[in-house]
Structure 1
Amino acid sequence: MILINKLRLILIEDLESIKLSKSPIVVGILLVYAATIFMQYKSKLSLHSIIVFTLVMIIHLLLYLFSNVIFKNKYLLYFIIQGIIVFDCAVIMPSGYETIFLGLIPVLIFQSTIIYYNAIKVIVTSIFYYSIFCVTIIIYDGTRELVRYIPILVLITIAVRAFSVIYIKQVKLRVKSQKVLKELELAYEKVEELTLINERQRMARDLHDTLSQGLVGVIMQLDAVDANLNNNNVKRAQEIVQRAMQHARNTLSDSRLVIHDLRFQESTDIDFSKAIEKEIATFKAVSHTFIITNITVESQISPKIIKHVLYILREALNNIAKHARAKNVAVKIVENRNVLDINISDDGIGFEIKLLDKLFGHYGILGMTERVKAINGEIEIESKKRIGTNIKIRIPIGEEIN
């Protein structure tokens, strides 16, 4: 919301700066002043007339430059005062009134076009200035001279209108481009924010599925070593120690691959069934739970899906070994019409699914859910106390996923 408000403020400021761009009109006023003085070189202008004309033109210019401050959106009063000033200039410079009117009136009409978005107001303003011009012509040169200036007034009107249309289109295009630019900047910030969130979640999942699960396996094996040593079964304890050391090495290797983001990227022909069997064998080595497996997959599974499925299976089996106190586990992975159906069930003590969100440090099921969503899958977890837990997962393995 803060970013949106910031965008609105920036766009309003840009629009105002474009809409009331001062420099072109200032240049136009200065040119009219210079042309009026230059056109009077044959006439005998008094120094007093030049000074008064200069002061009046300065007032005209200052009123324009500070119109926003002085009139504060009361632009009708602004245009009336400017019309009076233009008429005064014509009175001060009677032999050069044509240059003054033909120079300043288009500038004022152009200002009205930029300020007013209402065509009627622009027409009324134009009629006001042309009336002053016509009255001045009649006063100084008569009605016949007025007829000669009518085509000129028409051409001026057409030229000012055409220039105004082009100018307004440029204003709108620039405002639109500014808006698109700001929207792109906001979208980039949003994408960057989402990317950081997704990266944190990915790192949390990978750390949990490598270091955390690996340490859980080592702890379970050390518990088994301790139990065997207490029963004076040294040989069995040594065997478990060897497996724990190998498991620790594997965990370290997996952690390094996660750090460098190289896991499953060098090889694209991983055997899915063998990878699953290896994961189950690791579970058997650290748990006395009896496990039944049924793996029926014929299609070539993408490395991305294999990676997530292995992590999901590892997390589920580690939870069973650590918390469930189950005697039996069943793992069923079957391919059915380009969908991978995964079912992991146990006869353990079960748990309350609603309480997981309130327990700090229990991120396993959260990580499983995130991984399933990452490969467009669906997950359903059912658990009852003293009955067991059943995890059902459906993952599409069509070409769009590969």
Structure 2
Amino acid sequence: MRQQREKQLQIELLRSLRPVFTLWLILVALSAFSVRGLSLNVYGITQPNSATFTAIVLTVLVVVHGGCGWLMPSFMKYRFGQVGLLILQIVVALIAGSLIGFGQGMLYIGIVPIMLLEAANLFHHVWIAIGSLIGFYVFIWIGILLHTSFRESLPLGATGLFVTFIVVYYWFFFRKQIQQRQHAEELLAELNIAYQQVEDSATRAERRRVAQDLHDTLIQGLAGTVMQLEAAQQFMKQDQADKAQATVDRSLTIARQTLKESRTTLTNLRDDSETDLAARLGLLINVLQSKYGFEVTTSIKASPVLPAETLTQIVRCVSECLMNVYKHAGVMSAIVKGQPVGDHHYQLQVVDFGKGFKLSQTKRSQDHYGLTELEERLARVGGTVAIDTVIGEGTTVTLDVVTSK
């Protein structure tokens, strides 16, 4: 499982860097071609027909090199396919360097980091790749230093080190972002499983309680009625009509009492199973605290009478809100408050003191932080959702549902 997650991380990392690598490659090619032209002018070398030819060939090589990098994520499951693409990139880079001549230093400075980081992603040795990258730049700088003066070679060496820093920084930045997203997705999947387990556990506990209540009322009452009727039957066989009648009367009394108690029990069962909001939230929060170390403080006042479907949607909405806090707020704690509002409304609030966000931008984005799903869930049961968020201070999500009238 860990290897699969690492493989998925590598694929996501390369895919997310595709646009960056492509833009970088174009800029490097243009810079190298410009350096070549300037160098030819400085040294007074004239090649009237070679500029167009070099530009065309260099464009083709850049497209081939970039295409290999673009296809790399699709070949992640084929180790030899990845190696083949990497080798092809190296060959293309060497051909382009020999073709461009004076601009090859700039070309290598820009292209080699991409290939080394692709190799690091392929062979799982990031620090070896970074060390190789720095060593390569030192090697190029020494080679240039041997053919020029220290003053002339210094800008190229400084440029190489700067490029190394930028590439390595963004590599780790993107890798960390993808790791955090994957971790949050894994936790969300586990939370969904845990929520289903909570639902199943609550169902099993409810069944046991129903069985116990039925045993204490209906079954025992029926047993008493049967015993009384059997006694009446014996009295009738013995021609003791008065005793038989009295026994039947007692049986009717027991049956009526049993019927009354059964109705009361069913009413209590219906109320308890539909309105136990605090208990359902407690099960969910216990899972969050025990499995993920996410602390939730609760204050549920006067739980209302809720239909089963409404209760389920409310608990799922609270679960989604808490996961949003975990994924996006940058804190490991939240507050869940519940209280009646008026005669026929009940409000639940999920409060965090995290980093907050811009609500207008979030609604326009594709992710929405699950806000659309929250609105749809509550709309099914006649509820509404309101969000109050301030950057740097936190977010409050208010869930409002209509209670029984």
How far did 1:218 drift?
1.2
Q: Quick one: structure 1 residues 79 and 120, their matched pair in 2 at CA, closer, same or farther if it must change by over 3 Å? A: farther
1:175, 1:163 → 2: CA distance? 18
How far did 1:221 drift?
0.9
Contact 1:225–1:240 (Cα < 8 Å) also in 2 = yes
Is 1:186 aligned with 2:193? yes
Contact 1:113–1:164 (Cα < 8 Å) also in 2 = no
Aligned residue among 217, 224, 228 for 2:231? 224
Give the alignment of 1:207-286 within 5 angstroms: 207-261=214-268
Query: Which residue identity does 2:66 align to in structure 1?
Result: L
Q: Quick one: structure 1 residues 169 and 96, their matched pair in 2 at CA, closer, same or farther if it must change by over 3 Å? A: same
1:81, 1:264 → 2: CA distance? 71
1:262, 1:72 → 2: CA distance? 59
How far did 1:41 drift?
7.2
- The C-alpha deviation readout for 1:62-106, integer Å capped at 9, x for no partner, is 322333638933566655543332232233334544553343233
The residue aligned with 1:33 is 26
How far did 1:237 drift?
1.8
How far did 1:150 drift?
1.6
How far did 1:222 drift?
0.7
The residue aligned with 1:57 is 62
Contact 2:141–2:157 (Cα < 8 Å) also in 1 = no
Q: Quick one: structure 1 residues 180 and 92, their matched pair in 2 at CA, closer, same or farther if it must change by over 3 Å? A: same
Is 1:150 aligned with 2:157? yes
Q: Which has the higher helix share?
A: 2
How far did 1:219 drift?
0.9
TM-score by length of 2: 0.53
TM-score by length of 1: 0.53
2:96, 2:123 → 1: CA distance? 25
> Between the two proteins, what is the percent identity of the paired residues?
24
Q: Quick one: structure 1 residues 65 and 39, their matched pair in 2 at CA, closer, same or farther if it must change by over 3 Å? A: closer
Query: Which residue identity does 1:32 align to in structure 2?
Result: L
Aligned residue among 73, 98, 101 for 2:79? 73
2:3, 2:104 → 1: CA distance? 44
Aligned residue among 184, 205, 211 for 1:204? 211
- SS class of match (1:93): helix
Query: Which residue identity does 2:72 align to in structure 1?
Result: S
The count of corresponding residues between Structure 1 and Structure 2 is 257
Query: Which residue identity does 1:121 align to in structure 2?
Result: I
Contact 1:29–1:104 (Cα < 8 Å) also in 2 = no
2:218, 2:255 → 1: CA distance? 9
Give the alignment of 1:2-401 within 5 angstroms: 11=5, 14-18=8-12, 20-33=13-26, 36-37=29-30, 40=33, 43=37, 46-67=51-72, 69=75, 72-73=78-79, 79-94=86-101, 96-127=103-134, 129-130=136-137, 133-134=140-141, 137=144, 142=148, 144=150, 145-261=152-268
Contact 1:14–1:175 (Cα < 8 Å) also in 2 = no
1:55, 1:264 → 2: CA distance? 74
2:170, 2:261 → 1: CA distance? 69
How far did 1:190 drift?
2.0
* Greater C-alpha Rg: 1
Q: Quick one: structure 1 residues 254 and 239, their matched pair in 2 at CA, closer, same or farther if it must change by over 3 Å? A: same
Q: Quick one: structure 1 residues 14 and 181, their matched pair in 2 at CA, closer, same or farther if it must change by over 3 Å? A: farther
The residue aligned with 2:324 is none
- The C-alpha deviation readout for 1:84-129, integer Å capped at 9, x for no partner, is 3223223333454455334323333443454454355214541564
2:77, 2:11 → 1: CA distance? 17
Query: Which residue identity does 1:60 align to in structure 2?
Result: H
1:263, 1:55 → 2: CA distance? 74
Instruction: Give structure 1 stretches of 5+ with no counterpart.
Output: 266-402
Contact 2:25–2:66 (Cα < 8 Å) also in 1 = no
- SS class of match (2:79): coil
Contact 1:26–1:61 (Cα < 8 Å) also in 2 = no
**CA-based RMSD:** 3.7
